[in-house]
A and B are shown apart, each in its own frame.
Chain A
Amino acid sequence: MSTYLDYLDENALPLMWCPGCGDGTILKALLGAFATLGLKRENTVVVTGIGCWGKADDYIRTNAIHGTHGRALAVATGVKAFRPGLTVVALMGDGDCATIGGNHFIHAARRNIGVTAIVANNLNYGMTGGQFSGTTPVGSRTSTSPFGHTENPFDLCRLAEAAGANFVARTTAYHFKQMGQLMVEALQEPGFSLVEVVSPCPTYFGRFNKQGSASEMWRSLKERARAVGPGGTEAPAEAGSLEAPPDDGPDAPILTGRLVSRHKPSFAERYAAVQATAARAGEGAEPDAR
């Protein structure tokens, strides 16, 4: 029986992240999910972009590509499209996934490529000093919205659902057990899967918005979570239950759990059928569109 330690590069410790950050907890949950599934290191590829959570590959002993800002899903798509048998995981923050990489995010979901996106959403750009991102709530103070943020945030889960992802889930860094369960499910999904982990950034977002100490931020995650999926205290999610809460400010409730689970064919399934058709047709046979 393997444990998360089998996937952790202990030589790279200690973790680089600030005290009170959620990234270390998310890393442990992810590596624990690898262990639960008994993933082979050789057959697992972690792809990261740029950002605090995008540095997580430094601690992981699977194959990895640390790429460019926002492009993790596009790199991951290349890996998965060419070798569908590999388990491919993209680790992104809200800057990477929801902001500079937003186009890749919606198209990866639409394409239903079998990549698992683990998004650490801390509502701002932690690595570069706390600027606002595509998920920063209206009114929030960040280092580039000193008078309060004027733009609306993305709801990543609703975005993924609308774009066509097979599996969509949300949890928080506080809900370690739920996070691990959802990651295990996501990693087994043949199509596109998203686990959004709402995570605290006490260094910037919390400080700028007077959310108190790190422990107060973690307590807030606990209190604001409303589990709607399996293991939750409320009724399971139904179609359309992703309605945003009326107030989506920094104190709004966080709907957690498995929010979408459906079984549309993945990119790999459909493309394998194309390859089979093309191979039968053989050289020289022109498809109808030509």
Chain B
Amino acid sequence: MARTAFLQGNEAVLEGALAAGARFYAGYPITPSSEIAELASWRLPGLGGVFIQMEDEIASMAALVGAAMAGAKAFTATSGPGFSLMQENIGLAVMVEAPCVVINVMRSGPSTGLATKPAQADIMQARWGTHGDHPAVALVPSSVSECFSLTVAAFNLAERLRTPVFVLSDEILGHMRERADIPDTEALEIWDRPRPAGDPADYRPYRPGPDGVPPLGTFGGPYVFHVTSSMHDERGVSANDAKTAAASVARLVGKVSRNAQWLPRPEVVRSGGGGEGGTGAGRPVLIVAFGSSARAARQTMLDHPDHPLTLFRPRTLWPFPEAELSALVDGHAAVVVAEMNTGQLVGEIERITAGRRAVGLAWRSDGEIITPEEIWAAVRRTLGGDGR
């Protein structure tokens, strides 16, 4: 039954995972994500699922791949140091096309950093952390309600795309409690991986379906199959020729980009008559922010109701909703990016803006939340011609 609850972000992630059908968790405890592991250890066995605490995050990610091939909707939760260790087998999951979900409750780094404090500094690691060309799908919740709904979406995407999907939360969202709307599980749209059909002798674990995603058998089921981290042909047999390699990488990357309509869309909020034809005083500014920083940006808008401001808040960070953002740029006098790092997303926004407008940055990298005043200051600064 749908309910309104007062929940912690990490609790909502776990609820979302269970609602999406997750039945396998392998992980290693790390602040500020450990509540997810603890709740998983409590809730999964009663549902016939499995919680296993591995010896490290390398093993955790490897175990997800194994369980996914054995039919599980599998997930783990971690933070920066653990996310670093997972990169190796995130690549394995990409290459063997194992559906799985990795929750990164981001904390301040580098290294151990400020272990209990928030940051948004793992976003480029989420995009490019594992080596080699590969697709990346990363969702960025901005509320406890979205910790639930985007975790459900992450499982759906992982299944349908046969690829690891990241949920990038942060210490603020993970540990704060707020009013959250949890929909009825029965009412949720749940996607499962494409399944093979036909004669098992003809099954090819890497032969793509119509949307570019190969149907996946299950160990123990009638379709016997072989997957590999090495470059391979449709049968999963190692193949080192350039033609196979080119086609394989193109398909891996392309199966995400060609199905971008499955990804959660950005939220656009206007205030003060934000955007073209704005009625408020002052020249309109487009603010780009995600996760906790978007909460600060919303406050900036509430605190300055007479200035035309538009918030562009991606729910999917990777692949970035480039066309939607690009369409908004010309209707604004300037663009301001707010992020809790020294400037990672801003480079992507500058690329998309392509010199059409000045791009300013409000940033913070000291383990404290970015404030509405800092974002407002960046708005003023950027309009005045000094964005950075």
A in complex with B: yes
Asked if residues A78 and B62 are in contact (CB atoms below 8 Å), the reply is yes
Tier of interface size on chain A: 35 or more
Q: Is the CB of A12 within 8 A of B237?
A: yes
Q: Which B residue's beta carbon lies closest to that of A280?
A: B46
A83, A279, A286 interface centre (most CB from chain B within 10 Å): A83
**In this assembly, does B383 line the interface, its C-beta being within 8 Å of a C-beta of chain A?**
no
Give the distance in Å from the alpha carbon of A76 to the alpha carbon of B69 in the complex. 10
- Cβ contact within 8 Å between A75 and B66: yes
Which residues of A are found within 8 Å of B45, using beta-carbon distances? Answer: 271, 274-275, 277-279
| B58 adjacent to chain A (CB < 8 Å) | yes
CB distance B71 to A107 under 8 Å? no
Q: Is B208 an interface residue (CB 8 A)?
A: no
A76–B66 alpha-carbon span in the complex (Å): 6
CB-based contact A77/B220 at 8 Å: no
Residue from B23, B46, B52, B54 within 8 A of A279 (CB atoms): B46
Stretch at the interface among B121-129, B168-176, B222-230: B222-230
A202 to B118, CA, bound (A): 55
* B59 pairs with A67, CB closer than 8 A: no
User: Which residues of A are found within 8 Å of B238, using beta-carbon distances?
Assistant: 58, 66
CB-CB under 8 A for A78 and B89, given A103-B56, A107-B59, A281-B46 = no
* Candidates A62, A67, A286; contact of B229 at CB < 8 Å: A67
Which residues from A are CB-within-8-Å of B219? 45, 63, 79, 83, 86
A219 at the interface (CB under 8 A from B): no
A77 touches B92 (CB 8 A): no
CB of B42 within 8 A of CB of A290, answer: yes
Check: B48 CB closer than 8 A to any chain A CB: yes
Give chain B residues whose Cβ lies under 8 Å from the Cβ of A290. 38, 42
Docked-complex contact A287 and B42, CB < 8 angstroms: yes
Interface string of B51-81 (1 = CB under 8 A from A): 0101110111011111111111010000000
A242 at the interface (CB under 8 A from B): no
Q: A42-B224, A62-B224 are in contact. Are A282 and B62 (CB under 8 A)?
A: no
Q: Is the CB of A71 within 8 A of B58?
A: yes
Q: What string of 1s and 0s marks CB contacts (under 8 Å) between A23-46 and chain B?
A: 000000000000000000111010
Chain B residues within 8 Å of A282, by CB: 46
B101 interface residue (CB < 8 Å to A): no
Question: A58 vs B233: C-alpha distance in the bound complex, in angstroms?
Answer: 13
State whether the Cβ of B88 lies closer than 8 Å to any Cβ in chain A. Answer: yes
Judged by a CB distance under 8 angstroms, whether A184 is at the interface is no
Q: Are B54 and A77 in contact (CB under 8 A)?
A: yes
A271 to B52, CA, bound (A): 10
| Residues on the A chain within 8 Å of B74, using CB | 78, 82
- Shortest CB-to-CB span from A230 to chain B, Å, is 32
A78 near B65 (CB under 8 angstroms)? yes
Chain B residues in 8 Å Cβ range of A43: 220
Nearest B-chain residue to A16, judged by Cβ: B238
Residue among B26, B62, B92 with most chain A CB within 10 A: B62
Q: Distance in Å from the Cβ of A189 to the closest Cβ of chain B?
A: 19
**With an 8 A cutoff between CB atoms, is B132 at the interface?**
no
Contact B46 A67 (CB under 8 A): no
A279 — which chain B residues lie within 8 A by C-beta?
A: 45-46, 48
- Chain A residue at minimal CB-CB distance from B230: A66
Residues on B with beta carbons closer than 8 Å to the beta carbon of A58:
237-238
Q: Assess whether B89 is in contact with A61, with CB atoms less than 8 Å apart.
A: no
Complex Cα–Cα for A271 and B89 (A): 25
Q: A67-B62, A78-B65, A78-B70 are in contact. Are A85 and B24 (CB under 8 A)?
A: no
Cα–Cα, bound, A67→B96 (Å) = 9
A64 at the interface (CB under 8 A from B): yes
Most-contacted residue by chain B among A75, A85, A279 (CB, 10 A) = A75
Contact B62 A79 (CB under 8 A): no
B14 to chain A, nearest CB (A): 13
Contact of A65 among B24, B54, B59, B228 (CB under 8 A): B228
User: In chain B, residues 280-304, which have Cβ atoms closer than 8 Å to a Cβ of chain A?
Assistant: none
A104 interface contact, C-beta 8 A? yes
Task: Specify which chain B residues have a CB less than 8 angstroms from the CB of A63 in the assembled complex.
Answer: 69, 219, 224-226
> Would you call A228 an interface residue if the criterion is a C-beta within 8 Å of the partner chain's C-beta atoms?
no
Set A71, A78, A286: member contacting B67, Cβ < 8 A: A78
Q: What does the 1/0 interface line of A45-82 toward B look like (CB < 8 Å)?
A: 10100000000011001111111100100111111111
Is there contact, CB below 8 Å, between B229 and A68? yes
Q: Is B253 an interface residue (CB 8 A)?
A: no
| A102-131 with Cβ < 8 A to chain B | 103-104, 107
Inter-chain contacts of A278 with B (CB < 8 A): 42, 45-46
Chain B residue contacts of A47, Cβ below 8 A: 66
| B70 pairs with A79, CB closer than 8 A | yes
Once A42-B220, A82-B72, A103-B55 are accepted as A-B contacts, the answer to whether A77 and B226 lie under 8 Å apart by CB is: no
> B: which residues have CB within 8 A of A?
23-24, 26, 38, 42, 45-46, 48, 50, 52, 54-56, 58-60, 62-72, 74, 88-89, 91-92, 96, 219-222, 224-230, 236-238
Task: Give me 30 A-to-B residue pairs in the complex whose CB atoms sit less than 8 angstroms apart, sorted by A's number.
Answer: A41-B224, A42-B220, A42-B222, A45-B219, A61-B224, A63-B219, A63-B224, A65-B65, A65-B66, A66-B227, A67-B89, A68-B89, A68-B92, A71-B58, A71-B62, A74-B54, A74-B58, A78-B64, A79-B67, A79-B219, A81-B24, A82-B71, A86-B70, A86-B220, A104-B55, A271-B50, A275-B45, A275-B46, A277-B45, A282-B46
Chain A residues with CB under 8 Å of chain B are 12, 41-43, 45, 47, 57-58, 61-68, 71, 74-83, 85-86, 103-104, 107, 271, 274-275, 277-279, 281-283, 286-287, 290
Q: 3 closest Cβ contacts across the A-B interface?
A: A78-B66, A78-B63, A278-B46
